[in-house]
């Protein structure tokens, strides 16, 4: 399985403005192919009540793995359903030790804050590992939902 990023563009009625307003939503999808990813994101759009939409972007990502907050039931997440949690992308460097090679990997982690996502990454990746690990960067994304 690979992770794909999908961006949907759609219009939704804004009661305050009394007109349709353009929206863009980003989804991360675990899928075996572009076709599978598109089918999953279209199903998710239906669950969110999005009527007419266009898939504007569908591209593979470099994420090695996705980490959810362990305190929340594992399922497809929606930021609005999970007490303000957000998705953060992280670049992590691994070092095999003296004379060993160094390499970097990208991960996606969920947390209420950047610090919570960093702690989740450190705890999850550091447990039982013989490699030295350093979280190089963590930044908030605009990912609304991860669809597994």
**Tens digit of each residue's pLDDT (9 = 90 or more) over 70-106:** 544 343 444 344 556 899 999 999 887 777 788 999 9
- How many domains are there within the chain? 2
Does 109 fall in a domain?
yes
Identify whether residues 51 and 80 lie together within a single domain: no
Nearest-angstrom CA–CA distance, 146 and 78: 8
Identify whether residues 20 and 70 lie together within a single domain: no
Identify whether residues 39 and 76 lie together within a single domain: no
Identify whether residues 15 and 76 lie together within a single domain: no
Identify whether residues 84 and 98 lie together within a single domain: yes
Report whether pLDDT(18) > 90: no
Instruction: From residue 51, give the alpha-carbon distance in Å to each of 4, 11, 16, 23, 40.
Output: 22, 8, 20, 12, 16
Identify whether residues 136 and 66 lie together within a single domain: yes
Identify whether residues 75 and 119 lie together within a single domain: yes
Nearest-angstrom CA–CA distance, 41 and 147: 7
pLDDT for position 88? 95
We report the CATH number of the domain holding residue 88 as: 3.10.20
Identify whether residues 95 and 111 lie together within a single domain: yes
Q: What is the pLDDT of residues 44-68, one digit of tens each?
A: 888 877 888 999 999 999 999 998 8
Identify whether residues 2 and 42 lie together within a single domain: yes
Identify whether residues 72 and 21 lie together within a single domain: no
Query: For residue 19, how far is the Cα from the chain centroid?
Result: 30
Report whether pLDDT(4) > 90: yes
Q: 0.75 cut: is pTM over it?
A: yes
Range of the domain at 24: 1-61
Identify whether residues 45 and 89 lie together within a single domain: no
Secondary element (H or E) of residue 42: helix 34-47
Identify whether residues 132 and 92 lie together within a single domain: yes
pLDDT for position 72? 41
């Amino acid at each position: 399985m690979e992770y794909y990023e999908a961006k949907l563009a759609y219009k939704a009625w804004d009661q305050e403005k009394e007109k349709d307003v353009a929206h863009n939503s980003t989804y991360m999808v675990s899928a075996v192919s572009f076709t599978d990813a598109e089918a999953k994101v279209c199903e998710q759009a239906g669950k969110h009540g999005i009527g007419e939409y266009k898939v504007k972007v569908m591209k593979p990502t470099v994420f090695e793995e996705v980490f959810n907050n362990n305190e929340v039931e594992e399922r497809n997440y929606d930021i609005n359903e999970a007490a303000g949690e957000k998705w953060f992308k992280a670049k992590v460097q691994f070092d095999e030790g003296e004379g060993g090679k160094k390499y970097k990997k990208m991960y996606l982690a969920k947390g209420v804050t950047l610090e919570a996502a960093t702690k989740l990454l450190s705890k999850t990746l550091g447990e039982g590992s013989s490699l030295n690990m350093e979280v190089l960067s963590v930044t908030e994304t605009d990912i609304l939902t991860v669809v597994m």
